[in-house]
Homo-oligomer: A and B are copies of this chain.
Amino acid sequence: MLEGFVAGEPGDKHELRTETKELQARLMGQQQLLREKKLPVLVLIEGWAAAGKGSLIKELISEMDPRFYNVVSPAILPERETRYPFLYPYATEIPENGKVVFLDSGWMESTVRKAMKMEISKGEYKRRVRAVNEFERQLRDGGYLVLKIFMHIDKKEQFERLKELSENADTEWRVNPDDLWQHREYKRFLKAYDDFMDETGEAAPWHVVDGKHRKTAVRDTLKLLVGEIDRGLERGRYNGEPFEEKFPLLEMPLLKDVDLSVQISDEDYKRELKKLQKRLGELHNILYRRKIPVILCYEGWDAAGKGGNIRRVAYPLDPRGVDVKPIASPEPHELNRQYLWRFWTRLPRSGHICIFDRTWYGRVMVERLEGFCTEKDWKRAYNEINEFERQLTEWGAVVLKFWIHIDSDTQLARFTDRQNTPEKQWKITDEDWRNREKWPQYEEAVDEMIQKTSTEYAPWFIIESNDKKYARIKALQIIVKALEEACENHFENSFE
């Protein structure tokens, strides 16, 4: 898209100014409509160093109401300093419904620049391109308007700009060695940007804006933005269709075929618990130092024993490196964003362990059954989640998912016990009884979930928990084994 691009002429000054003012006024008017239609808009501004991204954004927002937009400038950190997946700085900053976020450079610049510096391999580059496409599609399908703009200037113009900045004492510090290096490598960068744009236009197309004349660039971008928002408003929130994609799925049993009679003796339990917890503590030390992130997902029937199971896993871990995240129903500011946002923001830093007490799978269970999302939404979610978890494992995370399983009689017995024991009464609510009535529907949903999302890289484990002690030992065994493998693999793949 950039090769052979010919810069335009500035055109009539007065006309330009009138047009710009008009467009700014229209944008201001659109804010209210965006709010009414709950349409979120993500504007990604990429481009050459010194192309004027900052001053462009300044003009875009100049008439907007600060309640309705946000400007985000994610720093591009050296690879060794990032402790999160590479999409993290963007995924955590997506707008709320009805609002606009301007990203002052984002996933394009970070991916291309790191590839050019050879901080990431070709394989990693490809994975990132794929993840970007997934990310953009998920946002679009979730109702987001994603607008991607590239501010283009040619090599000569970049030279002038860098020179101008360098010669002024107040702005000289803005030119960093990376920018000068980009200028020297202009041709190679041109190709790299072009390639990236070719590879990432599926869900949201790229728009190249001619950056040569600043005022024309503002007008052109405004025109683009106002036009796209108009179209978005007319179309309304898009709700994507479910899509097919091949994931390496494991064969999993249906819940009804699971033998729940398995047990463990008190003696074996104590011995195993001690042994496994000791080993887990040791492994945590290693993981922490090797900066391997670990994500443990707990789902299960009410009263299945999730809490007690989690406590046995967390106990031997250094509290400074582990976080148990209980997931309740979403708060208003969470409901107002794509459903994975509240999990992106809760991801552990590399080297830390995060235990989710309930997870993103609420989408295909409670939200599906209670009608909190559309049918398309939850049907799309299986593969969206597979993608999300693939991104996590490609970042280097160990992802393990547990379904803590009991039968309906055991649940009834535990509910009754809770009801009759004063200290436990708070644990049982009317909602639990209501959910219990929907056992068959839930079982169907859980079976479908386990069949569709048990991937090789992020497997489900059905944990028989009629005997809670058996369940704890089984979960600990699985975790210890997986972490031992991760430590081995990591060791082999690393440069140490």
Query: Which residues of A does B touch, CB under 8 Å?
Result: 29, 32, 54, 57-58, 61-63, 65-67, 71, 73, 102, 104, 170-171, 173, 282, 285-286, 289, 307, 310-311, 314-320, 323-326, 328, 331-333, 355, 357, 423, 426
Contacts and interface: CB of A to CB of B under 8 A. Distances in A.
A326 B67 contact: yes
Given A73-B319, A319-B61, A319-B73, A170 B286 contact: yes
7 contacts: A58-B316, A61-B319, A62-B315, A65-B307, A66-B325, A66-B357, A171-B285
A357 B171 CA distance: 29
Given A65-B307, A311-B63, A357-B66, A423 B320 contact: no
A315 to B, nearest CB: 5
A326 B73 CA distance: 19
B58 A318 contact: yes
B318 A66 contact: no
A319 B54 contact: yes
B311 A104 contact: no
Given A29-B423, A102-B319, A170-B285, 4 more contacts: A54-B320, A71-B320, A331-B333, A332-B332
Contacts of A62: 311, 315
Q: Counting chain B CB atoms within 10 Å of each CB, which of A67, A171, A307, A316 scores highest?
A: A67
B357 A104 contact: no
A33 to B, nearest CB: 10
Contacts of A32: 426
A320 B171 contact: no
A170 B311 contact: no
Given A104-B319, A104-B320, A66 B29 contact: no
Contacts of A286: 170
Q: Counting chain B CB atoms within 10 Å of each CB, which of A57, A173, A285, A310 scores highest?
A: A285
Contacts of A61: 314, 319
Contacts of A423: 29
Nearest to A328: B67
Contacts of A357: 66-67
Nearest to A58: B319
B66 A324 contact: yes
A350 to B, nearest CB: 15
A317 B332 CA distance: 31
A428 to B, nearest CB: 12
Nearest to A289: B173
A320 B73 contact: yes
Contacts of A65: 307
A25 to B, nearest CB: 9
A314 to B, nearest CB: 8
Contacts of A315: 58, 62
A355 to B, nearest CB: 8
A299 B437 CA distance: 52
A179 to B, nearest CB: 15
Nearest to A283: B170
Contacts of A325: 66
Contacts of A285: 170-171
A146 B352 CA distance: 28
Contacts of A67: 326, 328, 357
A177 to B, nearest CB: 17
